Amino acid sequence: MSESKEQKIEDLYDVVVIGAGNGGLIAAAELARRSTKILLLEQHNLPGGFASSFVRGRFEFETSLHELYDWGASSNKGGTRRLLERYELDSEFVAVPEAYRLILTDPDECMDVVMPFGIDAYLDTIEKEAPGSRESVRKFFDLAEDINRATNYIGQTKGHPDQNVLLKEHSNFLKTTAYSVEDVQNALNIPEKARSILNAYWVYLLVPMSRVNFTIFVSMVHGYILKGAYIPKFRSHDYTTALDTRIRELGGKIEYNTTVEKILVENGKVVGVETSKGDKIKTNHVVCNASPTLTYNKLIHPKSEVPEIAYKEINARRHGVSTFVVYLGLDATADELGLTDYSYFINNNMNTDELYESLNNLETPKVQATICLNRAIPDCSPPGTCIVSITSAFLPGVWDAVKPEDYFTLKNKIAEDLINTLETATGAPIKEHIEEIEVATPQTISRFTRAYNGVVYGYEPESWDSFVPRLMTMNDEKHIEGLEFCGGYGKRCHGYSSALKDGETAALLTLQDLIQKGELK
């Protein structure tokens, strides 16, 4: 038949990177930049994982990104920007105009507010909406600065901080990092209405304020408000393809349509990988962009090489949400529709326990984060049109029993409900202008990324499993020599910038190991 045997890859590599998502791409680029012989294997035929795009009719849709965190203006570059700029990508990013518009739809809520970027402007607006809240919210941001200083210090000490320095200079970080957002906001006496506004970004974590870790949340809110938010001008597929190009220019090899089926382990050490194409590749180092859940339960071979503690670590954690997205190509402009803003957070209320619970059944969730892409990139679609995407979420397990024959009806029903909510909240006549519509469900996520059970948000960042304890324990929670993880399940929790930075860390740890073992030529 065909020459598939001759197409098999059987070389030896310093490092095999599994998965070309945000984490895998950076890991591969960083390793290739440092003259390591790498092979990047991706099961899909595109790079990016969640960071992608797709075309329907006259529109190219952004698949998942709402706003990139920690990018910053050229005068005030954030870590994500500095990291990506290292690879000199031919890819443009543009600023998002305002922080967000929060609309609460319950009749007794009366909330419709546009929040600006910039700490002072933000404080002014929140004071106007919730008089008397300025000082307590300022303290919230002051704490964020303290935490920033602390994490910078810990970074400078390469994860080995002087306990005395921590106690003396970074006590505000120490004293809050074991608590939930609710605990700390109670201590700060932030009035309820101000909390509603301040906590709108919770959708990017989707864990209730009573459980989500304070440190990660305050860092996120502060980062967005201080540095603004950015998005790729030509969708995420542009920068991920730019990374693909750079990796190959640096001598890295990339194979798409190639699923890793086994990570071969002998005596606790990585010795190679096997793929769906029958490739048998020798390597002592794997950087894995797949989750620990998938890796330990499915990829490590033989199973006897998986230590019991690896299963326990997975089972002790809670998998985060999967997403549900309605992508709309509309044949009217944002002006014509009256969509004045880029980012809309539309919820019934801001009781995050109640909102979280609404993600736990097949009814339409009470949460949506909606983007009008043209408000950041006016010409992202043809003249006379605009792109709107509505994102909601479901907890893992909710879609488990859905039958194929009911699937299309179900997803259309939920999509319609979400569109109706958007119409009511904004007054925009969406339905009569739909030219293209696509709906992605947890099944779609699984189909294209093979993420375990369609999970997008990694493990839930409660305080005991937020980025601080993850970073503190990263050396003793390694169970297989030569295996590093990167991506949204990684040491910095989920999100684009976390995954990108985690890719860099995984690359550096792998490099260190290669050097220590004298394996690098």
Partner 1 sequence: MSEEEKKFDIIVKSNTRDLFAFTKLVPSRKKRFEKASSEPITTDPMNELAIRLHPLRQYLVISEIINETKSTKTYKLTPDPNSNTNQLAYFRAGQYLSLKVEVNGVTITRPYSIASSPSDALKGFYEITIRKEEPGFLTQFIWNKWKVGTKIESSGPEGFFFYEPLRDLKQIVGLAGGSGITPFRSIAKEIAEDKLDAKLTILYGSSEEDDIIYHNEFKVLEKKYPDKIKVVHVLSCEKVTLEGCELGFLTSDIIEKYCDVNNSSFFICGPQIMYNFVEKELEKFNLLHKRIRREAFGEIKEILSDPEFPQEVAEKIFKIKAQIGNLTKEIPAKATESVLVALERANLNPPSKCRSGECGFCRSLLISGDVYISPVSDWRKAGDKKFNYFHPCASYPITDLEIKVPRHL
- Is the distance from CB of 252 to CB of 42 less than 8 angstroms? no
CB atoms within 10 A of CB 39: 23
The distance of closest approach from Cβ of residue 226 to partner 1 in the complex, given in angstroms and rounded to an integer, is 10
d(CA 276, CA 289): 17
User: Which of 125, 297, 333, 348: binder of partner 1 (CB under 8 A)?
Assistant: 297
**Stretch binding partner 1 (CB under 8 A), from 67-75, 110-118, 183-191, 350-358:** 183-191
Binding mask 246-275 for partner 1 (x = CB under 8 A): ---------xxxx-----------------
User: Which of 405, 475, 516, 521: binder of partner 1 (CB under 8 A)?
Assistant: 405
CB nearer to partner 1: pick between 186 and 512: 186
SS3 53: strand
Binding mask 312-341 for partner 1 (x = CB under 8 A): xxxxx-----x--------x----------
DSSP-assigned letter for residue 123: H
Distance set, CA 176 to CA 209, 213, 225, 500 (Å): 14, 9, 20, 26
- Is the distance from CB of 469 to CB of 493 less than 8 angstroms? no
Looking only at residues 23 through 42 of this chain, which bind partner 1 when binding is defined by CB under 8 A? none
Total binding residues toward partner 1, as defined by CB under 8 A:
109
User: Which of 106, 109, 129, 183: binder of partner 1 (CB under 8 A)?
Assistant: 183
DSSP 399-422: TTT--HHHHHHHHHHHHHHHHHHH
d(CA 406, CA 424): 27
Phi-psi region of 495 (alpha: psi -120 to 50; beta: other; left: phi over 0): left
Residue 346: beta bridge partners? Answer: 103, 368
Cα-Cα end-to-end distance for the chain: 39
User: Rule CB under 8 A: is residue 379 a binding residue for partner 1?
Assistant: no
User: Which of 90, 124, 335, 353: binder of partner 1 (CB under 8 A)?
Assistant: 90
d(CA 125, CA 105): 20
**Stretch binding partner 1 (CB under 8 A), from 117-125, 339-347, 354-362, 457-465:** 457-465
User: Which of 18, 270, 468, 493: binder of partner 1 (CB under 8 A)?
Assistant: 468
5 HSE (CA, 13 A, CB side) = 1
User: Rule CB under 8 A: is residue 478 a binding residue for partner 1?
Assistant: no
User: Rule CB under 8 A: is residue 348 a binding residue for partner 1?
Assistant: no
d(CA 49, CA 28): 14
User: Which of 402, 410, 474, 508: binder of partner 1 (CB under 8 A)?
Assistant: 402
The residue type found at 240 is T
User: Which of 12, 464, 512, 517: binder of partner 1 (CB under 8 A)?
Assistant: 464
User: Which of 24, 208, 454, 482: binder of partner 1 (CB under 8 A)?
Assistant: 454
Q: How many helices (H) and strands (E) does the chain have?
A: 18, 20
User: Rule CB under 8 A: is residue 490 a binding residue for partner 1?
Assistant: no
User: Rule CB under 8 A: is residue 404 a binding residue for partner 1?
Assistant: yes
User: Which of 446, 474, 481, 508: binder of partner 1 (CB under 8 A)?
Assistant: 446
DSSP-assigned letter for residue 296: I
DSSP-assigned letter for residue 431: G
SS3 74: coil
User: Rule CB under 8 A: is residue 73 a binding residue for partner 1?
Assistant: no
User: Rule CB under 8 A: is residue 516 a binding residue for partner 1?
Assistant: no
User: Rule CB under 8 A: is residue 280 a binding residue for partner 1?
Assistant: no
Looking only at residues 411 through 430 of this chain, which bind partner 1 when binding is defined by CB under 8 A? 412, 415-416, 419
The distance of closest approach from Cβ of residue 263 to partner 1 in the complex, given in angstroms and rounded to an integer, is 15
User: Which of 67, 244, 460, 484: binder of partner 1 (CB under 8 A)?
Assistant: 244
**Stretch binding partner 1 (CB under 8 A), from 14-22, 241-249, 261-269, 480-488:** 241-249
SS3 382: coil
Task: Extract the tokens encoding 30.
Answer: 């960083």
CB nearer to partner 1: pick between 44 and 101: 44
